[in-house]
């Protein structure tokens, strides 16, 4: 997968994009990430890429011309790839695991990271996706782009050593992940559930599924509103609610 990032602060990506899973993905040639400083495309001696909004208003807007010309350069470097251009924007679709699973199918992702008060509206004519990582304000789109890239790249085949760990991740199944344990078996009075030592794979699978459902009901009940529960899950959920009320 080819990933291009358009940013006024390319140095912000130096560490995160070269570390951990993303760094390994690049070493393996599974992903390639390039960052372009779109200030290079400013048509003035001061390198300004923003200006005051027509009609008045607070703050400054990113101009369409530097972004458009930066995109042209990316297209010239990769003329044969099918691109999805992602605008990091508070007004965009809230990012989710399902969106990451959609983006990972792309051949080429291009991220536009904004700054200042907002964008010249005409920039949106060049994009295919508008994404927000949450209902809060950041200084710019760089951190948001890193989040989206991280969540997407780790889904690329062979990026993570154990693909089963991805399948079981929270949100990948639509529910939160079940509790997990490792050594020691007992620590300061806290013990590991006995079922995990039973060797009965069917019982362990049922325990994991039920505890995943329990954690989702306790922490993110909103995820269950439209979730297609099986008959078994409905029974488990009734049991969980009864256990909690008796508890």
141 is in an annotated binding site: no
- Is residue 224 marked as binding? no
Residues designated catalytic: 90, 117, 154, 169
The answer to whether the annotation marks 134 as part of a ligand binding site is: yes
Of the candidates 183, 165, 242, 167, which has an alpha carbon nearest to the alpha carbon of residue 210? 242
Q: Where are the beta strands (DSSP E) in 107-202?
A: 108-113, 118-119, 129-132, 186-187, 190-191
The answer on whether 135 is annotated among ligand-binding residues is yes
8 marked as binding residue: no
Q: Which residues contact 154 (CB under 8 A, 6 or more apart)?
A: 21, 22, 25, 160, 166
Q: H helices of 37-182, where?
A: 64-77, 97-103, 142-153, 163-167
Phi, psi (5° rounding) for residue 193?
Answer: -55, 135
* DSSP tag of 178: P
Residue 138 annotated as binding site: yes
Cα 29 to Cα 4, 23, 206, 218, distances in angstroms:
15, 10, 38, 41
CA distance 177 to 179: 7
Q: Which residues are annotated as a binding site?
A: 114, 133-138
Q: Which residues are annotated as a binding site for S-adenosyl-L-methionine?
A: 114, 133-138
């Amino acid at each position: 997968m080819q990933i291009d990032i358009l940013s006024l602060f390319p140095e912000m990506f130096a560490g995160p994009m070269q570390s951990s899973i993303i760094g390994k993905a690049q070493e393996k040639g599974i992903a390639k990430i390039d960052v372009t400083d779109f200030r290079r495309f400013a048509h003035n001696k001061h390198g300004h890429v923003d200006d005051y909004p027509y009609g008045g208003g607070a703050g400054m807007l990113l101009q369409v011309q530097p972004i458009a010309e930066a995109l042209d350069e990316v297209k010239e470097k990769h003329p044969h790839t099918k691109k999805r251009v992602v605008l990091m924007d508070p007004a965009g679709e809230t990012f989710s695991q399902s969106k990451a699973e959609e983006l990972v199918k792309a051949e080429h992702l291009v991220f536009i990271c904004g700054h200042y008060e907002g964008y010249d509206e005409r920039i949106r004519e060049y994009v295919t996706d508008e994404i927000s990582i949450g209902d809060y304000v950041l200084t710019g789109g760089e951190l948001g782009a890193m989040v989206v890239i991280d969540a997407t790249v780790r889904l690329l085949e062979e990026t993570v050593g154990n693909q089963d760990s991805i399948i079981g991740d929270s949100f990948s199944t639509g529910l939160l992940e079940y509790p997990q344990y490792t050594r020691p078996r007992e620590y300061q009075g806290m013990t590991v559930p006995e079922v995990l030592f039973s060797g009965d794979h069917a019982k362990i699978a049922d325990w994991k599924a039920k505890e995943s459902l329990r954690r989702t009901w306790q922490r993110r009940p909103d995820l269950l509103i439209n979730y297609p529960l099986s008959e078994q899950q409905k029974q488990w959920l009734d049991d969980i609610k009864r256990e909690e009320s008796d508890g």
